Amino acid sequence: MQFTVQSIMQLVGETLRQPHSVAARLKPEFVPRNVLWLIIIVLSVLSAILATLGGTVSAGALMAKPFGMAIMTFGLLILTIFGSQLVCRFFGGTGTLNQAMLLLSWQHFVVLCLQVVGFLASIILAPLSGLITLGIGVIAFWQMAVFIKVLHDFKSLGNVIGGILALYFGVAFFAFLILAPQLGGAM
């Protein structure tokens, strides 16, 4: 695969139209793990820059600075990659860690491209910025589910979506159990 701006943008467009076929095509790609780590770091930095420029950073002092946002994004990417890998392997998934790193990094890059377009559209169509953000979120979630389905050779997209939602709610509930006692003392 050639990496030119044009070929990458074509692959982004194809990913938006046919995520299943792009995931299947990228799955066997061999990319060295050190390159995959570099990709994840670069994506985290780009996400932080975009979030800072877009003014979407508003929660807490950590997020107010691009470095903190990059660290948080890196952590979320790692949590998504390793978490999905562990859970999916438990349920019979066949994907490797390198494949998970590649596919979910690519999916995150596509979402970043959508966020850039959404940011520009929000400037022009400010009253619709909430709907634009919601639409990007729905597309990102759906693509991630499709990529995980292809990555692990699962048969049902519905089961993958249910598994992702269960994992998110489980992590949120666990975080709530840890944070609730500390928040109760602050009130």
Per domain, the residue ranges of the chain are 5-186
- pLDDT, tens digit only, all 187 positions of the chain: 667 889 889 999 999 999 999 999 888 878 889 999 999 999 999 888 887 776 544 445 445 577 778 888 898 889 888 888 888 888 888 888 999 999 999 999 999 999 888 888 888 888 888 898 899 999 999 999 999 999 999 999 998 998 888 888 888 888 888 877 776 655 5
49 phi, psi to nearest 5 deg: -65, -45
pLDDT at residue 180 in the model: 74
CA 49 to each of CA 105, 122, 132, 176: distance values in angstroms, whole numbers, following the listed order = 17, 17, 19, 29
pLDDT at residue 187 in the model: 52
Q: Say if CB 159 and CB 170 are below 8 A apart.
A: no
Half-sphere CA count of 170, side-chain side, radius 13 A: 9
Q: Spell out the long-range contacts of 73-79 with Cβ–Cβ below 8 A and sequence spacing 24 or more.
A: 73/43, 73/44, 73/47, 73/48, 74/40, 74/41, 74/44, 77/40, 77/43, 77/44, 77/104, 77/105, 77/108, 78/40, 79/171
Nearest to 106 by CA among 184, 3, 176, 186: 3
Helix axes 66-90, 97-124, angle to 10 degrees: 130
Q: Say if CB 73 and CB 47 are below 8 A apart.
A: yes
* Residues found in the chain: 187
Nearest to 126 by CA among 54, 60, 67: 54
pLDDT at residue 61 in the model: 47
